[in-house]
Amino acid sequence: MMLAVSEIFYSLQGEGEFIGTPSVFVRLGGCNLRCEGFGVRGSLGSREFIGCDSIYAAHYAFAKEWRSFETSALLIKEIKSLGKHLFDIIITGGEPSLHFSNPILLQTMEYFLQKGHRICVESNGSVPFVFDSILKQLYFTLSVKLSNSGEPISKRLKIPVIQSIIDNAKNVVFKFVLNATMCQEAKALQEIKALLASLRLKGNQIFLMPQGTTPHELDTNIQAIYPLCLQEGFCLSDRLHIRIWGDKRGF
Ligand code: SF4
């Protein structure tokens, strides 16, 4: 048994409800989707790939770059060596749900929950989680993929899975990444509203977040997004890490 980790690092949470919080990010390898519609190019040697901005964690062709943790003790030691004071732990990917039956991950989460750390999971919400006593203590950010991901609706949108997460997790927020063109076309907003209307929400916050890998791109897209937030009662999330570190990996 091993746990595939694309990268692990200490930084500030750059997005969403806990923006600015010191956090250790554990980015797990592998994803059930490709999201080629996002059109981000990645290369590995002479091979080129198209996908999302986490393609190096999502696509299994990059697995040779991932680290293998063979025990929870090793992962716990690494997280403790990185984090300072009462940091959050962010389990992200790729799609982390693919690893939630792995005892190395479960034992690590149990250890840090007992120490009083908040653990947040970033998921696309298309793979079921089995909510035991550990998972019920987790904070979820669901970034459900829209049609612009290029994924078929049958793969990316699983309403019963999303509802189960809403019903069982400690807290669930939604996060949708938009750019100015998507705001003008209104299709994305229609998809978001249709998704939310098909769920039994429990006062969950909905975040709209600007696409962008530079502060200038963020600023441009925020100008298009904030009117939608006011109009629909959604929250606006910035991407603080882009403003501080640009699109460098490991921050
Ligand atoms: S679901 Fe997320 S990690 Fe997976 S390919 Fe799509 S954007 Fe990338």
Q: What is the DSSP letter of 92?
A: E
Ligand 1 pocket mutation pick from 6, 15, 25, 31 by most atoms within 8 angstroms of CB: 31
**Average pLDDT, stretch 212-221?**
94
Query: 16 CA distance to ligand 1 centroid (A)?
Result: 17
In the predicted structure, residue 249 carries a pLDDT above the cut 90? no
In the predicted structure, residue 250 carries a pLDDT above the cut 90? no
**Average pLDDT, stretch 123-150?**
97
**Average pLDDT, stretch 217-239?**
97
Q: Whose CA is nearest to atom 3 of ligand 1?
A: 94
The Cα 191–Cα 179 span in angstroms is 15
**Average pLDDT, stretch 190-205?**
98
Residue 93 main-chain phi, psi, to 5 deg: -160, -150
Give 12's pLDDT tier (boundaries 50, 70, 90): very high
**Average pLDDT, stretch 38-61?**
92
Q: Whose CA is nearest to atom 7 of ligand 1?
A: 52
Residue 251: predicted pLDDT = 85
Q: Whose CA is nearest to atom 8 of ligand 1?
A: 52
Query: 224 CA distance to ligand 1 centroid (A)?
Result: 24
CA 156 to ligand 1: nearest atom: 1
The Cα 39–Cα 192 span in angstroms is 21
Q: Tell me what the pLDDT averaged over the chain comes to.
A: 96
Query: 85 CA distance to ligand 1 centroid (A)?
Result: 31
In the predicted structure, residue 97 carries a pLDDT above the cut 90? yes
Q: What are the residue ranges of helices labelled H in 158-239? A: 159-168, 180-185, 187-197, 215-232
The Cα 201–Cα 217 span in angstroms is 32
CB 236 within 8 A of CB 229: yes
Residue 191: predicted pLDDT = 97
Query: 235 CA distance to ligand 1 centroid (A)?
Result: 22
What is the second-level CATH architecture of the domain 3-245?
Alpha-Beta Barrel (3.20)
Using CB atoms within 10 Å of the CB of residue 1, give its burial: 0 to 12 exposed, 13 to 18 middle, 19+ buried.
Answer: exposed
* Between 175 and 213, the higher pLDDT residue: 175
Q: 103: which 2 tokens?
A: 């005892």
Share of the chain above pLDDT 70, in %: 100
Question: Does ligand 1 come within 6 angstroms of the Cβ of 144?
Answer: no
CB atoms within 10 A of CB 118: 19
CB atoms within 10 A of CB 233: 8
CA 53 to ligand 1: nearest atom: 8
Residue 63: predicted pLDDT = 96
Residue 209: predicted pLDDT = 97
CB atoms within 10 A of CB 101: 10
**Average pLDDT, stretch 120-140?**
97
Question: Does ligand 1 come within 6 angstroms of the Cβ of 33?
Answer: yes
Residue 25 main-chain phi, psi, to 5 deg: -95, 125
Q: What is the DSSP letter of 100?
A: T
**Average pLDDT, stretch 21-29?**
98
Question: Does ligand 1 come within 6 angstroms of the Cβ of 97?
Answer: no
Query: 178 CA distance to ligand 1 centroid (A)?
Result: 15
Query: 72 CA distance to ligand 1 centroid (A)?
Result: 25
Question: Does ligand 1 come within 6 angstroms of the Cβ of 3?
Answer: no
| Residue 90: half-sphere exposure toward Cβ, Cα within 13 Å | 29
Q: At what angle do helices 215-232 and 187-197 cross, to 10 degrees?
A: 50
* Between 250 and 51, the higher pLDDT residue: 51
The Cα 15–Cα 21 span in angstroms is 10
The total number of residues shown for the chain amounts to: 251
In the predicted structure, residue 86 carries a pLDDT above the cut 90? yes
Residue 138: predicted pLDDT = 98
